[in-house]
């Protein structure tokens, strides 16, 4: 029987990094404050002590430098796992990620690649972070061919998806839902395991409507589904887990069964990744849809501090949208 | 234009540590002048104002740190240990000069006349906060006081300061820009872009690199391999000086001269102030994980406020009893304003879509309406601390 340890999402990330570094000495962790301090959230605790300063080190404070350096490391054959302290601060690295990492293999005809690159960044709201410690920038990266984008929603997923991301032959952006770093607790196998990228997880079977999300939003979706269940509405819940490339088949099958789809994310509505999913699903499930695809998202504003609660697409908004969709 | 360079006849490299920058220091810890030098031209009134602003900032920081620990603020970040670097520079500038800070320069804002009430409204995200409660505590800004609103992303203000100052040059009104950042931010690409552009385009901007030894947990030894930030200014062709950032007279003398150069010669200047972040990076940080109490204690002995106080007392411009009175006055004022501000209303929900654009587009108005309907249906889910108080 597999041995498991009760741990939170943050510890699962740490455990995943530890597992990857123990299994392959080519795995290198780098980022701001990740050395002795173990990162501002402590995701890299004890890794420097265990694997030495050459394999786990502080970088100067430059996101573009971190991304570029990690791409170079990966091109050389190392497995580079770079941390960007907050997803809100990934933008100075945008050029390196979007123009370099994403196109490294394609532009060289596969003469060179930086597939050993994984960039981790805590993302999302719920911590009184205001404009610059709350953003969900996944859609920018989902618009970039050549990248993979992965977001876990619990401790078990965090370790398995992170290990798969680190070992994936393509560059992966791995966003971690920091609001539930400590709140999300579960049993995590001690052994080395991977959860396949590009595969969604059906968290709950249901027949009336499909609820789709990722990351911390799965908690709000779960709460809304419970409220709906009390009213006799049966929700199927899907955690997308990988946004690029996303698991179209699982979502299409579910929507063909339920006839309804609600997608929820914290990022703003306009240009959010739910728009891409909605377009694809209406194309594949048009004749089975009983109502327009619903989107419950953040507002099309920057992320405000004082109105954070109102801004967020919480369970009550999802619950209302479920009822409206059923009543359509 | 090509660089005129003398020739060498063998591959002789210049060592990476060849350029060593000296540090300006005028004041000893006991308040005496180094080698009996002349103090910079500073009146008793100006000295008193500078000292008062430093003390105010120290007390504001202590009080707000405690308020954060008591759960009255969501976040705070102190300037403790760096008051001389900030007040000493800000005081040397004119009210027309723009200040573009990083986030640890509340002392400069105090210097400009930001009131305790204004500090409290921002820290508590009140309706009267000039930033409408949208940003985390300590992200101040004031058009009236020419203090650009703080943005959390590091170093973004540096190229912006170069551009702002270029606009001031074109306006021809002899104003300049004072731009602050830390030793960590100086590693960002924006630092290099900003200094180079300011130098090439001859922007009247004074850059102040507050070298406080740490970027969160990362010590300067892991931040850069060269001799601090100052040599980089010279690399970009910028007049540069390094000062003891805990020496108010050195900082003020350097900043006064820097402003004169920037305005008269219409060019950038770089000042590196060598100091120490005595507190944590912020209330989210615990320095015991990365540095020793001994190290902190060593720097506490070089406290810039004590050093200035000793000098003031030696000049017979100050005494301990007035010092105590001043501290008590600030304590009482800050506590009083905090309590008042805690009873103030929060910004209205409709504010949420304002200022995204000059005029809210249709889709935002629709989103607000739908949000208002929802909040009215679930009022308990959206209570904000301070709601209902007037």
pLDDT mean over B165-180? 97
pLDDT digits (tens, 9 = 90+) for B195-205: 999 999 999 99
Given a cut of 90, whether residue B386 has pLDDT beyond it is: no
Q: Do A154 and A252 fall into the same domain?
A: no
Picking from A31, A40, A61 by the largest number of B CB atoms within 10 A of its own CB, the best residue to mutate is A61
pLDDT mean over A68-77? 98
Given a cut of 50, whether residue B177 has pLDDT beyond it is: yes
pLDDT mean over B337-358? 97
The answer to whether the CB atoms of B349 and A310 lie below 8 A apart is: yes
A187 is an active site residue: no
**A259 is a domain residue:** yes
Q: Give CA–CA dist B310/B84, Å, rounded.
A: 14
**A273 is a domain residue:** yes
pLDDT mean over B67-96? 97
Q: What is the 3-state secondary structure (H, E, C) of chain A?
A: CCCEEEEEHHHHHHHHHHHHHHHCCCEEEEECCCCCCCCCCCCCCCHHHHHCCCCEEECCCCHHHHHHHHHHHHHHCCEEEEECCCHHHCHHHHHHHHHHHHHHHHHCCCCCCCCCEEEEEEECCCCCCHHHCCCCCHHHHHCCCCCEEECCCCHHHHHHHHHHHHHCCCCEEEEEEHHHCCCCEEEEECCCCCCCCCCCEEEECCCCEEEEECCCHHHHHHHHHHHHHHCCCCEEEEECCEEECCCHHHHHHHHHHHCCEEEEEEEECCCCHHHHHHHHHHHHHHHHCCCCCEEEEECCCCCCCCCHHHHCCCHHHHHHHHHHHHCC
Q: Do A137 and A16 fall into the same domain?
A: yes
Q: Do A19 and A160 fall into the same domain?
A: yes
Answer CATH for B34-342 from 3.90.320.10, 3.40.50.970, 3.40.50.150, 3.40.30.120: 3.40.50.970
Taking each helix axis as running N to C, give the angle between helix A315-326 and helix B362-377, from 0 to 180 degrees, rounded to the nearest 10: 100
Q: Do A235 and A307 fall into the same domain?
A: yes
Chain A residues touching residue B224 (CB < 8 angstroms)? 60
pLDDT mean over B43-66? 98
Chain A residues touching residue B154 (CB < 8 angstroms)? 61, 89
Given a cut of 90, whether residue B1 has pLDDT beyond it is: no
**Four-CA torsion A26, A31, A36, A40, nearest 10 degrees:** -130
pLDDT for the residue numbered A221 = 98
pLDDT band at B2 (very low <50, low <70, confident <90, very high): low
Q: Do A36 and A147 fall into the same domain?
A: yes
pLDDT mean over B149-175? 97
pLDDT band at B40 (very low <50, low <70, confident <90, very high): confident
Q: Do A228 and A177 fall into the same domain?
A: no
Q: Do A236 and A271 fall into the same domain?
A: yes
Picking from B135, B149, B183, B349 by the largest number of A CB atoms within 10 A of its own CB, the best residue to mutate is B135
pLDDT mean over B144-162? 98
**Gap from B223 CA to chain A (nearest CA, Å):** 5
Nearest Cα neighbor of A273 from A123, A142, A125 is A142
Q: Do A166 and A302 fall into the same domain?
A: no
Q: Does any CB of chain B come closer than 8 Å to the CB of residue A60?
A: yes
Q: Do A118 and A256 fall into the same domain?
A: no
Strand partners, B270: B207, B240
pLDDT digits (tens, 9 = 90+) for B287-328: 999 999 999 999 999 999 999 999 999 999 999 999 999 999
pLDDT band at B389 (very low <50, low <70, confident <90, very high): very low
**A185 is a domain residue:** yes
Q: Which residue from B minimizes the CA distance to A305? A: B134
Over pLDDT 90: what percentage of chain A? 99
More confident residue, A158 or B17: A158
pTM over 0.90: yes
The mean pLDDT of chain A is: 98
Q: Give CA–CA dist A71/A101, Å, rounded.
A: 6
- Domain of A64, CATH number, reads 3.40.50.970
**Lowest-confidence pick of A207-221, B25-39, B126-140, B352-366:** B25-39
Q: What is the ipTM of this complex?
A: 0.95
Q: Does any CB of chain B come closer than 8 Å to the CB of residue A128?
A: yes
The mean pLDDT of chain B is: 95
Q: Give CA–CA dist B274/B245, Å, rounded.
A: 5
pLDDT for the residue numbered B390 = 35
**Counted domains in chain A:** 2
* Domain edge (last residue) among A189, A213, A241: A189
Q: Which of B139, B222, B375 sits opposite A58 (nearest CB)?
A: B222
pLDDT for the residue numbered B111 = 98
Q: Do A114 and A224 fall into the same domain?
A: no
Q: Do A220 and A173 fall into the same domain?
A: no
Q: Do A173 and A148 fall into the same domain?
A: yes
Q: Which of B125, B218, B351 sits opposite A58 (nearest CB)?
A: B218
More confident residue, B4 or B202: B202
The answer to whether the CB atoms of B154 and A61 lie below 8 A apart is: yes
* Domain edge (last residue) among A125, A155, A189: A189
Q: What angle do CA A15, A16, A18 make, to 5 degrees?
A: 60
Domain range summary for chain B, segments of one domain joined by +: 34-342, 349-382
**A299 is a domain residue:** yes
Residue-number span of the structural domain to which A117 is assigned: 4-189
């Amino acid at each position: 029987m597999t041995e498991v340890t009760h741990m939170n999402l943050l510890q699962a990330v740490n455990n995943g990094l530890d597992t990857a570094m123990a299994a392959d000495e080519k795995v290198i962790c780098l980022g701001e404050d990740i050395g002795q301090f173990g990162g501002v959230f402590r995701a890299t605790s004890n890794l420097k002590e265990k694997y030495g300063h050459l394999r786990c080190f502080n970088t100067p404070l430059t996101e573009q430098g971190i991304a570029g350096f990690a791409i170079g490391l990966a091109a050389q054959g190392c497995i580079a796992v770079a941390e960007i302290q907050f997803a809100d601060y990934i933008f100075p690295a945008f050029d390196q990620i979007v123009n370099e990492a994403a196109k490294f293999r394609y532009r060289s005809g596969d003469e060179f690649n930086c597939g050993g690159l994984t960039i981790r960044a805590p993302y999302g709201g719920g911590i009184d972070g205001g404009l610059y410690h709350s953003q969900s920038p996944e859609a920018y990266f989902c618009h970039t061919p050549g990248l993979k984008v992965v977001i876990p929603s619990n401790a078990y997923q965090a370790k398995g998806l992170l290990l798969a991301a680190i070992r994936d032959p393509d560059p992966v952006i791995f966003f971690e839902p920091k609001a539930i770093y400590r709140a999300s607790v579960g049993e995590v196998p001690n052994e080395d395991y991977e959860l396949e990228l590009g595969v969604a997880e059906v968290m709950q079977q249901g027949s009336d409507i499909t609820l789709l999300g990722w990351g911390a939003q799965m908690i709000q979706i779960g709460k809304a589904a419970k409220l709906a269940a009390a009213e006799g509405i049966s929700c199927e819940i899907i955690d997308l887990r990988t946004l690029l490339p996303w698991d179209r088949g699982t979502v299409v099958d579910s929507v063909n069964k339920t006839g309804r789809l609600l997608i929820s994310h914290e990022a703003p509505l306009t240009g959010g990744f739910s728009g891409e999913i909605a377009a694809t699903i209406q194309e594949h499930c048009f004749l089975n849809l009983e109502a327009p695809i619903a989107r419950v998202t953040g507002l099309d504003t920057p992320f405000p501090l004082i109105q954070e609660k109102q801004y967020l697409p919480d369970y009550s908004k999802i619950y209302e949208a479920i009822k409206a969709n059923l009543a359509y | 234009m090509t660089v005129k360079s003398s020739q060498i006849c063998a591959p002789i490299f210049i060592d990476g540590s060849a350029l060593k920058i000296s540090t300006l220091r005028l004041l000893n810890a006991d308040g005496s002048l180094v080698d009996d030098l002349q103090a910079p031209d500073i009146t008793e009134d100006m000295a008193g104002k500078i000292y008062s602003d430093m003390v105010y900032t120290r007390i504001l920081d202590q009080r707000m740190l405690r308020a954060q620990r008591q759960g009255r603020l969501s976040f705070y970040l102190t300037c403790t240990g760096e008051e001389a670097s900030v007040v000493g520079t800000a005081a040397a500038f004119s009210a027309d000069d723009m200040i573009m800070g990083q986030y640890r320069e509340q002392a400069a804002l105090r210097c400009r006349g930001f009131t305790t009430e204004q500090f409290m409204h921002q820290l508590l995200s009140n309706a009267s906060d000039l930033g409408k409660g949208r940003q985390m505590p300590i992200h101040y800004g004031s058009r009236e006081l020419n203090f650009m609103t703080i943005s959390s992303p590091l170093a973004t203000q540096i190229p912006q300061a170069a551009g702002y100052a270029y606009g001031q040059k074109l306006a021809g009104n002899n104003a300049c820009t004072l731009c602050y950042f830390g030793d960590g931010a100086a590693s960002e690409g924006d630092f290099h872009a900003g200094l180079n552009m300011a130098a090439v385009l001859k922007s009247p901007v004074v850059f102040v690199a507050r070298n406080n030894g740490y970027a969160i947990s990362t010590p300067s030894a892991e931040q850069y391999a060269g001799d601090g930030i100052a040599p980089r200014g010279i690399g970009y062709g910028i007049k540069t000086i390094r000062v003891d950032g805990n020496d108010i007279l050195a900082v003020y003398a350097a900043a006064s001269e820097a402003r004169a150069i920037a305005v008269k010669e219409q060019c950038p200047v770089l000042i590196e102030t060598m100091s120490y972040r005595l507190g944590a990076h912020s209330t989210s940080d615990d320095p015991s994980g990365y540095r020793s109490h001994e190290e902190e204690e060593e720097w506490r002995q070089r406290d810039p406020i004590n050093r200035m106080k000793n000098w003031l007392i030696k000049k017979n411009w100050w005494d301990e009893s007035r010092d105590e009175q001043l501290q008590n006055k600030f304590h009482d004022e800050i506590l009083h304003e905090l309590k008042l501000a805690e009873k103030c209303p929060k910004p209205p929900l409709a504010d949420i879509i304002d200022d995204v654009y000059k005029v809210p587009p249709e889709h935002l108005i629709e989103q607000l309406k739908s949000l208002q309907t929802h909040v009215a249906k679930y009022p308990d889910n959206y209570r904000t601390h301070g709601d209902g108080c007037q």
